[in-house]
Amino acid sequence: MSCVSIPKILIPKEGTDLRKWAVIACDQYTSQPEYWAETDRTVGDAPSTLRITLPEVYLEEDDVAERVANINTTMQRYLSDGTLRELPAGFILTERFSGGAAPRRGLVAAIDLETYEYKAGSRSLVRPTEKTVEERIPPRLKIRENASMELPHIMILIDDPDRTVIEPMFDQLDRLNKVYDTDLMQGGGHINGWFIPQGEMTDALIHAMDALNDRKTFNEKYHLTEDLPLLNFAIGDGNHSMATAKAHWENIKQTLSAEERETHPARFCLCEIVNIHDESLIIEPIHRVMFGVDADDLLSAAETFYAANGGVCEILGENDAIPQDAHAVPFCTADRTGVLVVRNPKWGIALGTLQAFLDDYMDSHPDAKIDYIHGEDVVKSLGTKPGNMGFFLPDIEKNDLFRGVIIDGVLPRKTFSMGEAHEKRYYMEAKLIVK
């Protein structure tokens, strides 16, 4: 079965001030209430997705229930007064300029939640890249359970190095109708969208996405020697929103007949599909610093841990040759530098190899702490203090992101960062999730 469904997308009626309509994903700027206060001032009384979403900065406020009730009422009003109009079944091709060297190009479509699972050990065709924190779902579920529509900030990745799916559509723009073209508030850049009606073009897009996961192609792409579960799509952003949609669907479908389950709108989740090889996506590793550790003890424990897991661990100098097919992580301490090398690793990527050990080490060393660091200079500054140890993670190849999920199930937490806050998805489109 295909993971992709062709939705009927809701967009604002013509004449709407789209700069005030489109608001950044609700899980951004959660420590900056001033950002959301300025957004509120910008929107004023104009129709806006700010009025039908709940910024997570307010999630712990005493008036959450009142806010959610107002959201549900406003959703109904936007539907009844024509603020939102429903397009015929189809996709939307998007192009987002946010100040980088290239625009992000994507495809707004619906994913069948029956093909997605966020639980640990999932073998589903659509999977998260990182572990889902299930405790984060219930408060989000309360927002969704009485909502009439969803507004997606979910970004789902395909691994299409030959650019066979989304990119060719930009050679056919003269065949498409533009449905939005607007600047985005608060430094969000600019976004364009073109409607692709259901028919020959949508069929071709679905076929091209399905073709990426032909079994022979899949095994060759990821250098697999056994038939591991296929992975059509990986959640790049908005994983907990996707998980909430899944949890909501699991609740809804218990009330439906088998026939009703086939077409109920809550079964299908709106998202933006993006090629991980899109030039705009910069994937940066997140480094590690350990606090309250003895470096010699930690490195000795590493040798024991990897030996018990079928590998061979050795500590090399910075300029020593790294064995082929080994995972290597440079480190620094107060009095030495080196490279932790693991041959015959059981994990798909170097970070998976390192984090599995660090998690095990902290279980038996309760005084040890870990922090996740973006800049190498910060790792060097912190890691060279007495009692600390810094690990410099290698750059993540885009193919390795999918390979890590395929082999290891999900990537370790804080594996990578993908874009800055202002580059995250803005709410523009919506879809009904009720009959």
What one-character DSSP code corresponds to residue 32?
-
pTM for the model stands at 0.84
As a whole number of angstroms, the distance between CA 51 and CA 45 comes to 10
Q: What is the pLDDT of residues 292-308, one digit of tens each?
A: 999 999 999 999 999 99
238 touches 155 (CB < 8 A): yes
Residue at 413: amino acid letter: R
At residue 60, the pLDDT reads 85
Give the three-class secondary structure for 1.
coil
At residue 417, the pLDDT reads 78
User: Which residue is associated with the tokens 């779902």?
Assistant: 137
Q: What is the pLDDT of residues 58-111, one digit of tens each?
A: 988 899 999 999 999 999 999 999 999 999 999 999 999 998 889 999 999 999
What's the average pLDDT block by block, 10 residues per block, for the chain (435 residues)? 94 98 94 94 98 93 94 98 98 95 96 94 90 87 95 95 97 98 97 98 97 92 91 92 96 97 98 96 90 97 98 96 94 97 93 94 96 90 97 87 85 78 94 96
At residue 85, the pLDDT reads 98
Q: List b or e across 389-415, with b for residues whose CB sees 16 or more CB atoms inside 10 angstroms.
A: bbbbbeebebebbbbbbbbbbbbbebb
At residue 15, the pLDDT reads 97
